[in-house]
Structure 1
Amino acid sequence: MLEYRQWQRWGETGDLGRDVVGYVTDNRHEGPWDNFQCKQLKKRLSLGNAFLELGKIFKHSADGAYSLPRRYTFVAPRGVARGVQELVSHPEAFRTAVIQRWDELIARRLVEKTTIPLSTEIKAKIDEFDFKNIDWLDAEKLVADPYCLRVLVGWFDADPGRAPRGSVPTDLQATESVYVSQLLHIYAERSRQTFRDSSDALSHPDHGDHFRDQRIRFFDAMEFERFYRDSTPLDYVDTFKHEVYSGVIDTHRRQHKDCLGRAEHLLDSPINVSRELRRFSPKRRRQVPGAIK
């Protein structure tokens, strides 16, 4: 995944050939940056238009408007013409073609009623740019990108699938230390004996299996949250947590013989937290009262 400190959408009159820009550092255009040239076209991006868009970057960079981008990506729903694909696949041939066909495909299209010749400064920018860093994305590539899944879920009700099971490490982890200490406390309350650490719980005839199960549930829940945080709109998991809370809080508030009894009744409550976590799909949000749509 490409990581950016900031991004900016230009994409209007006077954008100087930029559309969506990802800044790699806080220096923005004075440091490395990537340009995503987005085209909402009913057909594939033509070779002439691809040359024109690149020509804008070389001209304006030569004029001192910004440094050359690190990467340049054409984003076109229906893809790019075969000639563009061929040149993207042959970076040095692409560089040569831009120079050789500047007068034909670029010079008279950059500025209205003006011809922009291939100056020494513009050619220097073409020579400097790494044409290996030109690529293209079409609709098929976009929907296959796992980082687009959140958008597909939010806008088109795509199903992100089931969260994978958590992996339970043999050794106790810092992330579960508070949870484990609470389990040891409720075991001690029920058994009226001291549980110094997890080994005491694991070896206990009444609580050993329960302790193993709760660790499995803990890491399943962690993996569940991580998976859906990355693959659904930001409000989905919070909304689901709220609905789980609403489903168990009345049971939690009732009188129980001890804390372990409360935990057992919570896990047996109608919403059954563990099963709900495994069955969760954002499409079910329509069935959840008060869910954010």
Structure 2
Amino acid sequence: MEGDDGIQGETLDPRQTPQGAGSRAGDPPLILNYPTAMQFPAMPSPEKLVFTYDPDEFEKFVEEWVPALDSLYVRVERQGGAGDHGIDVAAFLTRQGLEGPWHNYQCKRYKGTLAWSIAAGEIRKMFAGVVTGQFIVPEQYTFVAPSIGPSLQQALQRPDRTRKEFVESLRGTTDKVITDLDPSLRREVEELAADTSFEIFQTVNMKQMLAQHKTTDFWVKRFPPESPPRPPVMEPPEKPEPREARYVQQLLEVYAERWPGDASTVTQVAQHRTAGPHLRHQRQAFFSAESLRRFGEEAYPAGHFEAIVKDVYDAVVDVARDDHPTGWKRLQAVTSQAISAGLTQTIFAQHVRTLDRTGVCHHLANEDELTWCEGEGT
């Protein structure tokens, strides 16, 4: 290389043909071997995601879903928690709230299915809340769970028989929500249960819930649009191409500075036990990011890859401008910062891998937005 760039007469010129770019006649080619591209599993379906929710998140999901059921609801409120008297999500048909017509959505998130024994306890809690003046009997009471057990399904398919059995069981129940009531209130619970149509109790199918939730504004936030799988990462060509000229040249300058005389030419770098593997890995990173860029252009609206580049640049630029004893130290500090940088959470960001982040740094270096050695614009 001409001048005082430290590469001893070997410049990787973008105008050179791909045939031996940056090497002299007679030099052995820079052999680069790369592992087979890895494939990653697809994102889980919305139904599978719901099954991973904890009870609190499941209640939030139900609160989002309920307004899609009835346009006549004037208000939907999540009330789950201690002292909720058996109300998780309440939907009001009038401004009277719990004193007027309303619907109750009882959320149950268990590892297994929701059984009748659990549902019966919630129904007892509901009747106790009514006789103690917390609210009136809802016009509709829906049990919401990812999976409904057969015992609950069968009980609600026979509402009259289930009501009779429920009233009989009240007399011998040990449930504290009932036994803590004074005798007169316990009798009121029994009379109220006997006079209430158990047709108000029902369940909902998870697939139906998801189809209805999809009509709400919450769907896209909770379940980002399904994205196409990312194709295999491009493999770098055996020899650096002209389009790689600037970032590879910057790397050669780093090696010449760190190992003067031992890694000052392309041939020496290829044979150097540290610089050679390092260059191979950096080229893998460059082409990984290039694969991400092309995928973004083909599968997403314009600007997604550019947003990733900006996030990385904003995260590393101050590190790059800081004082470093060598270009190698600056390069290591910048790529380390890029790997840990936070990215704006978009649907495209899920495709970004660790190697892409390092590769984005070399894309920036290829445009001289980042430089590694002093005197090269740092």
Bigger helix fraction: 1
- Ranked by relative contact order (alpha carbons within 8 Å, sequence separation 6 or more), the top structure is 2
